[in-house]
Every structure is written in C-alpha cells, then in structure tokens.
Structure 1
Amino acid sequence: MSCDPNWHEVPLYDVCESIMDCVNKTAPSVDYATPYKMIRTTNVRDGWVSLDQVKFVDKETYDKWIRRQKPQKGDVILTREAPLGEVGMLRSDERVFLGQRLVSYRANPEKLDNRFLLYAFQGYHLQTQIKALGSGSTVEHMRVPDAKKLRISLPTLSTQRQIASILSAYDDLIENNTRRIEILEEMARRLYEEWFIYFRFPGHEGMSFKESELGKIPEGWEVRRLDEVVTLNPKTKVLKEGEKWFVPMGALSESGMAVGPLEKKTGNSGAKFQNGDTLVARITPCLENGKTGFVDFLPEEQATACGSTEFIVMRSVRLCPEMTYLLARSDRFRDVAIKSMSGATGRQRVRVESLIELPVVQPDDATLNAFQNFVAPCFKQIRKLSKKNTNLRAQRDLLLPKLVSGETDVSDITMPDRKEVEAA
C-alpha cells in the first residue's frame, strides 16, 4: 500500500456499483453456435476475457442466467477457483453471462476507474488478499462473501485514469499486434485450403486432373502417406550440458502458431525439436482445443530444444515447414488424430502410429515453391509481431505493480511510443 497521503484504502463494495457472483449451477449448453455465450474460468486470463472456445446456450437459458444482472462492456471479471485470482475485462457488447466460479465487479465511475480496477487486481496488494482468502485442500477457492470484502488502495480519480491510460496503451498495442497476427495466420490457412484442399491455385484452370483416393488431384501431383512427406518424432540431438530452452504444454496456443512463454531447464527429457518443426499436443483436452505451434524461435547458438512429453513433433521431408504446420492445423488431420485417441477417460492420447498412413497430397515442386514464397513472409511477420508483444508485456508487467501501488509517481512515466514499437 502506498505511503502517499493522496492514496487511501477502501473496501471494493464502497467504490463499485455492483459485485455480482454467478448463478450457482451450470447452464445447459447447446452444441451449435448462438449469440449467447457462457464465460468460464478458462476464458479469463492475464487481464482479458477471451470469447474463443466458449460454450453456447439458447435464449431461454441466457435470459435465466442474466436475471440478476446482465454483464456489460467494462465489467471486470475475477475467477474464484480453477484458477484462483485470474482477472479480465469485458471489452465488447456481445451477449455473455457468467459461468460458475466467477465474480463480476462493476465500478462506480464517480469513484473508481474500471481500467484501474482491472490493473489493481493484477497487483500485489489485491492478489495477496485473494491468495490469503483462498481455501481448500485440493483446489484453492475464495468464497463469494470474501470476494466482496476485498480492499483496494486508491489515488484520486484523475490519477487512476492516468495510470490506467498508460497501462492500457500497452494493452492496446498488444491487442493491435494480436489482431494482425490473427489476420496473417488466417491468410495462410485460407491459402492452404484453396491450393491443397480445393485445388484452386494459380493456373489450375488450365491443368488436367486425375482420380486419387483424395478425389481428383492435378496431374503431376501425388498422394502419399504422411510418413513419406513428414517425419514424426524425428531423432534430434540436444545439448547434453547446461540450460536449454524448454517448451511446456502451456506455451502452445489454441488458435495460433506462436510458441511462448518459454522456460530454461537442464536435462534432455521430453520431445526434442528444431526450427521449422511443428509441435502438436497429443493429449486430451489439449488436442481438441487445437494446441499446435511452429518452432522458429531458436537462435543459431542453440539449434535444438526440448518440450513436453505430450508433443508430437512433425518435421517436413517432402513438403515445406509452413505447409507441414498448416496440415497439422487442418480439420482432416485433427479429425484423424482425435479418432485415434486411446487411454483412460480424460487422459487419452493420440496413437502416433495411427497417423502414419494418413493420405497427404504432394504438389509438384513449382507449386510447392510458389506456396512457400507466399506464406513464409506471413510466418516471419507473425514471429516478429509475437516478439514485439513479448517485449510489450514485459514492459507493462514491470510498470504495473509500481503504478498501482503508488511506488512510482505516474508523472514520471511516459506513454509507450507507437512509432518506436512499430520500428522495433
């Protein structure tokens, strides 16, 4: 807590219009998309509420679950359990409602800036209280009454807004880069589909087609087994001594190719890989959620790395690295992988041998080279933007605890320069 006399500590219920918990039961979901989305604890991470991987409900269920309060843009959402203490803000007007183990805080704008509240929840003062209130022998959780008793250290409203504006500037840059990454990856995936699933590549109109087990494919192309065009779990030597990069399961994204954050570890256990390889999560529910990554982060002085034992490593032999990654992201590959899973319920794994005979189209060299020339720059730009986001997060995370505690005077901090970030 700040020693500045302009800061004071108050209970959150004194500066919030409402503090509302979820309906204490699970809403019945439907297996098709609707406008009505349920936020779960898995959707709340690192200051954001992601509306990817949500569950959908019908309008009747939605109306029942918002009868106490309808969530709105700007509400701050806190997880009470699994995990405890994650926080995010609703940043859109989509029709959502709280799933179990979530609490919503709606700031009183005359007393509390909602963005400052978001960042304060990520600071030491509130996180310490949350952890202290957590209980449970197996799963840490916080009771709803305790969620309403949390106390926040506040400066004047104008200072709150200044602090929130600085930290939000970093988040805005990160969000902008993230959108650009999503667009670039979507472009690459669409190009893969057009060229190698629908065979609508440049010049296809003048080509002859022939029958194959995948239907009609262009003359000069072949259908091969997966193990003829890709090596699965190739043997890879790593440094025997010292620390090396390690990729945990959590470093793989459900929606994109970027891998991180990484760890440093000693030892040589787990999957081994090098730049240009694709990593596929082989265990449930990670596979179903789409966890797949593209390795392009290793420096020349450390050409290989290790990762989770639950990765399948795919290395291009007759394709190109980018096409191998996009193949692993394709619906057909994932359907075959999921159907091959075996083991105890909840911990099923892909049987790698079941993937070996998956038929894969092998384009002629000219088409493959043309495809790589299109998509490789997209992959490089994604990596560049991902690195910028890593740096921006590090800068924001360094500033956040100092600003929300009053340790650093906000007048001493300048806003991040967008032009400098873009040039970095």
Structure 2
Amino acid sequence: MKSKLKRYAMGEFSAVKHGFPFLGEFFASSGRYIVLTPGNFFEKGGFKRTPGKEKYYTSDFPSEYLCTPGDLMIAMTEQAEGLLGSTAIIPEGGIYLHNQRIGLITWDDTIVDKLYLYYLFMTRSVRKQIRDTASGTKVKHTSPERIYDVIVFIPDRDVQKRAASLLWSIDSKIELNNRIIAELEEMAKTIYDYWFVQFDFPDKNGKPYRSSGGEMVWNEKLKRKIPKGWESCPIGELLAKVSVTTKIQSVGYQMCGSIPVIDQSANFIAGYTDIPESVLHFTKGAVIFGDHTRIVKYVGFDFARGADGTQVLISNNACMPELLLYYSILKIDLSNYGYARHFKFLKETEIVVPNEGTAVSFEKVVTSLHEMITKKIFENIELVGIRDWLLPMLMNGQVTVE
C-alpha cells in the first residue's frame, strides 16, 4: 500500500556542520584518535573501517570534533566515483575525529527519523541533486547550503521508522557477515604465522616442529633459519602462465549474471557477466593482486577478470598451493614501491617454500575456513541485492512495512 508523502527541502529539517581543519603535520601511522576521511564511507553508504590505512592525530583539538556513537556523517568531497553525499553512522565513540571534508548532520526528530534520513541519502534522487549542484571539475565538492536545497518527499514518521528498521536489519546482517569473514581470515593468518613464521607446524608426531626440537638450517637468501628440507624461491618462479588474456571491460559489468567479475577495487566483486565460460573463465583457486592498489584477495569461486590491471596468480608448484601463496603475499610490504614496481617487486620477492606434505596439510585446514568465507560473500551479495531493490520503493512510499 502506498503512503502519503510530503514535500520538503532538506534545510527544513536538517543541518550540516563542517569539520575541523586538522593539520597534516600532526598526522601519524599510530595513535589514539583517527581522523575521518571520505575513505571511511562506502559509495552506496555505510561506515568503512580502513585497517592499516588510518590517519591518526597526535596534537590537541577542540573536544566538540570528537565523534560520538551514532553520529550521522556525510562525505562532502568525492574522493572516489559515487562517494559525494554518502552517509555513515559512527560505530563507536572516543576514537574518530570530525574532519573538515566531512559533515555532521543534525535533524528535527519530529519530522524525520534518523535511520530514514541515513537511507534517504542513498536514494538516486538525493545523490543526483547533490552531484548536479556540486562545484569542482576533477574532484566534486558540496556544501551545507547546497544540501539544504535538495528536495525530498517523505512519508509519516511511523512509516519512516518501519521502512528504515527493515533496511537496517538487512545491513546489520551484512555487517555481521563481514565481521565473520574478517575473523575467519584472521584465524587463517594466525595458522599461517604459526606454521610458516614460527615454524611450529605439526611434525610427524603431531607436535609443534620447532618447539619440539625440529632441525633448522640456515637459508642465505632469506637470511634466517628454516626447517630442514624446506627451500626458498622468488614468487615469480612459482607462478603458472595465465594464458587467457581477454578481459571484461567495465561497460560489460552487470548487476546480475552467471560469472562474477573480479577487479582490484576494494569491493572485490565489481559486477557480473554472461560471457560464455569458454571465452573468459578462471576456475576457483586463484590469488588476485591489484598492481596499483596493492589489494590482495583469494578467490575461491569461478570468476572473470576485469580490465583494470588486475593480476591473476596461479601456482605451478605443489609445494605452494594458492591459499599458501595468498597468505605468503599478505606478509610482504609493498608500501615503499611505486605503482610501476609493485608486481615486478612481488615476483622478485624470495619466500619460504615448505615440503609438499606440510603445504597440503595447510591447504586442507585453511580451505574449510575459506569455504565459509565464500558462503558469507555470496550471502552478502544476495542481501545487498534485496536491500537495493527494496530501498527506492520503501523510501518513496510505494511499499510500506506493516
């Protein structure tokens, strides 16, 4: 049943406050307070954590610019395509700082529900109005005044709350799945460190190898001791040649299709294609390396490759199965190398290569974790599809939640 809608300008029920101009000279790679950036927003909306890429602030600042849990923020600068006008809700207090490129939204609670307002900024109409009035050529910017002029049509507040609650429950499930994925990957990383950094993999008696007195020998190339019988090798010598050169151009991406298209974006699955498998297809079990972004992912399902410089890495050695290759690459620091050098340096990097028995055992243990990860990835794809299908109908009152 369609509900009645009332016309408003955003400025009639909301306000946007600019952030504080934090000084770059006090940014650091560690600390207590994290400066919010547009990178903390997903393009469609939602808060994005950026582990390892945070900008910490080490100087004094006005206390009013320390975010509290539940603060509704908006990206005022389009750092990435589609980001302008994206909103996010601060998940925890005492950590994040309200930066000048970010707006803090306040609202009249008698007119609009907070979560409804959060989802309102995800609608195509609102985003288009913000983008159409933005300034700048290469990088788009908006302002509180331009946001106030955005026209919206909203239903009664009780209808708002029911609609927003349904969308939030879907997003909460997506976030839970993301946390599960992160925890499963962390478990796999811990196993890798235990086996291939500390060298306490199970020996033939099931005891930790090094701690139980397993023989270690010096490896000149790695400049460290490794288990007897193990070797080292440059990554490039462990890679099979990928013969398929055809790539899916971004214009060929779809919202649905038979084959996921993988590229080096943070979103990992960029779209889908229905191009026949005989034309472009990789079977599951490959490592994806973004030559420009340095993003590394393991793909445990069939996929097609996007045309953005993404490298597909497949092992040619039984002692280095793809999952072991993936976690070995995660340990390599590529931060000091320019874009043109990333993949070249990666291939030149010497890594430890275990015996086949240990490699196979690791693959079996970690594969079970990645099967659960893959299940959660595709569950989230379905949930995102449901949410994106429902959102416009719920926000324009075409569908209501009883």
* Same fold by TM-score greater than 0.5: yes
Maintained 8 Å contact 1:274/1:305? no
Question: Which residue in 2 is equivalent to 1:421?
Answer: none
Equivalent position SS for 1:372: helix
1:191 shift after superposition: 1.0
Question: Which residue in 2 is equivalent to 1:38?
Answer: 35
Question: Which residue in 2 is equivalent to 1:12?
Answer: 10
The alignment status of 1:104 with 2:98, answered yes or no, reads: no
The farther-off stretch of 20-29 and 83-92 is 20-29
Question: Which residue in 2 is equivalent to 1:293?
Answer: 297
Per the alignment, do residues 50 and 238 of structure 1 end up closer, same or farther by CA in structure 2, a change over 3 Å counting? closer
**Deviations 1:48-95 (CA, angstroms, capped at 9, x unpaired):** 1223232110250xx23x54x543222222222214222222122242
What CA distance in whole angstroms lies between the structure 2 residues aligned with 1:59 and 1:351?
A: 34
1:44 shift after superposition: 1.0
Per the alignment, do residues 24 and 93 of structure 1 end up closer, same or farther by CA in structure 2, a change over 3 Å counting? closer
1:325 shift after superposition: 1.0
Question: Which residue in 2 is equivalent to 1:392?
Answer: 383
Per the alignment, do residues 75 and 107 of structure 1 end up closer, same or farther by CA in structure 2, a change over 3 Å counting? farther
What CA distance in whole angstroms lies between the structure 1 residues aligned with 2:353 and 2:131?
A: 54
Per the alignment, do residues 47 and 137 of structure 1 end up closer, same or farther by CA in structure 2, a change over 3 Å counting? closer
Normalization by structure 1: what TM-score? 0.79
Amino acid at match of 2:195: W
Amino acid at match of 1:324: L
Question: Which residue in 1 is equivalent to 2:93?
Answer: 93
Question: Which residue in 2 is equivalent to 1:78?
Answer: 74
Normalization by structure 2: what TM-score? 0.83
Amino acid at match of 1:130: I
Maintained 8 Å contact 2:35/2:96? yes
Per the alignment, do residues 174 and 360 of structure 1 end up closer, same or farther by CA in structure 2, a change over 3 Å counting? same
Maintained 8 Å contact 1:26/1:99? no
Q: 1:247 aligns with which of 238, 249, 262?
A: 262
Maintained 8 Å contact 1:74/1:106? no
What CA distance in whole angstroms lies between the structure 2 residues aligned with 1:11 and 1:21?
A: 19
Question: Which residue in 2 is equivalent to 1:422?
Answer: none
Per the alignment, do residues 148 and 98 of structure 1 end up closer, same or farther by CA in structure 2, a change over 3 Å counting? farther
What CA distance in whole angstroms lies between the structure 1 residues aligned with 2:288 and 2:38?
A: 26
Amino acid at match of 2:323: E
1:171 shift after superposition: 0.6
1:383 shift after superposition: 0.6
Identity %: 22
What CA distance in whole angstroms lies between the structure 2 residues aligned with 1:321 and 1:99?
A: 41
Equivalent position SS for 1:161: helix
Maintained 8 Å contact 1:273/1:313? no
Question: Which residue in 2 is equivalent to 1:415?
Answer: none
Q: CA RMSD in A?
A: 2.9
The alignment status of 1:199 with 2:196, answered yes or no, reads: no
* Equivalences for residues 201-350 of structure 1 within 5 A: 201-202=201-202, 203=207, 204=209, 205-213=212-220, 214=222, 215-231=224-240, 234-236=242-244, 246-250=261-265, 252=266, 259-264=268-273, 273-283=282-292, 286-287=293-294, 291-298=295-302, 305-318=304-317, 319-330=320-331, 333=332, 335=333, 337-341=334-338, 348-350=339-341
What CA distance in whole angstroms lies between the structure 2 residues aligned with 1:183 and 1:4?
A: 42
The answer for unaligned runs of 5 or more in structure 1 is 254-258, 299-303, 342-347, 412-424
1:237 shift after superposition: 6.4
**Deviations 1:11-55 (CA, angstroms, capped at 9, x unpaired):** 334434x42112356554432322211111121113212232321
Maintained 8 Å contact 1:188/1:378? yes
The answer for unaligned runs of 5 or more in structure 2 is 253-258
1:109 shift after superposition: 3.4
Question: Which residue in 1 is equivalent to 2:255?
Answer: none
Maintained 8 Å contact 1:403/1:409? yes
